[in-house]
Structure 1
Amino acid sequence: MRQVRLTAITAACFTATFVFAQSVPELTGPSPDPMKPVPAEPLEDYVTDDVRQMRAYPEQPPIIPHSIQGYQLSVNANRCMTCHRREHVEGSGAPMISITHYMTREGQMLADVSPRRYFCTQCHVPQADTQALIGNTFTDMSELGAAGAGGE
């Protein structure tokens, strides 16, 4: 009985490995010599018009609508905070970072930006002027004509 179970488990593992190996695309470089160095494609131009973009899906972090080239973002300095910290938004005209950036994981408010929210580019990225890699059919609720609660 024990031998039958081991054989069934072994067969299931082999089948899963075979199916997985079949679905993974082969990684190859340029033909005919995949080891030959190839020049990199040029980087896309970033959108720098300072126009806020609609989000592509709910809860998406806002994108950065300006260039951040040369911005220092380290443990000791964060150039983003010179405009987006709540104390500086009135003078800079930049949108204030969300109040969630001043909270701990437990929801306790802090006097300064939470260390886990300090490195802005872990969530926020500049927008490049490129074609979408995949299609997106997201439609905002306001575009669907949804009425507010208690509207009847």
Structure 2
Amino acid sequence: MKPLRTILAIALCCVASIAAAQGISEEPPELTGPKPDPMESISAAPLERYVTDDVRQMRAYPEQPPIIPHSIEGYQLSVNANRCLSCHKRENSLGTGAPMISITHYMTREGQMLADVSPRRYFCTQCHVPQADTEALVENTFTDMAEMGAQSAGDQ
């Protein structure tokens, strides 16, 4: 008789948990705002305005990849072509006046020097982005060491 009671108690618990789970079947709220009618045309948000003054921006944190200070609209960046390298590659930078890409872009993971840009550094926009005139998505509380009163070792 005891095994029968145990089986009935387990079955009752299962039924109760299934019933409770069905009671909590509300859909979670949408993350992208109100759900539009599927047939309704929605206008796209305006594109951000890129800063195109060619002035190099101060980095927001140490080791930040430099920001692109000019428009790259229409630049081809594919496996077959990289327009950035036409100005910033080592042999082209002197004639164009553009800053040469870092020597680290010519190295393998193991530190072996290459004659050309490393394949893992070929797609510039995986790290470098053009500066856009927009509001920050996340508040930046970075404070530079110089602003905190730190001095260089040679200043003392």
Partner in structure 1 of residue 96 of structure 2: 92
Q: Please give the secondary structure, in 2, of the residue aligned with 1:143.
A: helix
How far off is 1:60 after superposition? 1.1
Q: Taking structure 1 as the reference length, what is the TM-score of the superposition? A: 0.75
Q: Taking structure 2 as the reference length, what is the TM-score of the superposition? A: 0.74
- Residue 60 of structure 1 aligns with an amino acid whose one-letter code is Q
Is the aligned partner of 1:104 residue 2:108? yes
Name the CA distance, whole Å, in 1 between partners of 2:78 and 2:64: 24
Partner in structure 2 of residue 138 of structure 1: 142
User: Do the aligned partners of residues 54 and 34 (structure 1) sit closer, same or farther apart at CA in structure 2, a change above 3 Å counting?
Assistant: farther
- Among all aligned residue pairs of Structure 1 and Structure 2, give the percentage whose two residues are the same amino acid: 74
Name the CA distance, whole Å, in 2 between partners of 1:98 and 1:31: 46
Equivalent of 1:54 in 43, 54, 58: 58
Name the CA distance, whole Å, in 2 between partners of 1:151 and 1:29: 52
Q: After superposition, where does 1:3-152 map in structure 2 within 5 Å?
A: 26-27=29-30, 31=34, 33=36, 35=38, 36-149=40-153, 151-152=155-156
Q: Please give the secondary structure, in 1, of the residue aligned with 2:91.
A: coil
Q: Which 4+ runs in 1 deviate beyond 6 A?
A: none
Gaps of 5+ in 1: 1-24
Name the CA distance, whole Å, in 2 between partners of 1:86 and 1:51: 21
How far off is 1:141 after superposition? 1.9
Name the CA distance, whole Å, in 1 between partners of 2:133 and 2:37: 30
On the 8 A contact 1:28/1:34 being kept in 2, the answer is no
Q: Please give the secondary structure, in 2, of the residue aligned with 1:90.
A: helix
How far off is 1:62 after superposition? 0.8
Partner in structure 2 of residue 10 of structure 1: none
Greater Rg, structure 1 or structure 2? Answer: 2
Q: RMSD of the alignment, in Å?
A: 2.0
Gaps of 5+ in 2: 1-27
How far off is 1:98 after superposition? 0.8
- Residue 153 of structure 2 aligns with an amino acid whose one-letter code is A
Name the CA distance, whole Å, in 1 between partners of 2:155 and 2:53: 38
Q: Please give the secondary structure, in 2, of the residue aligned with 1:42.
A: coil
Count, aligned residues: 128
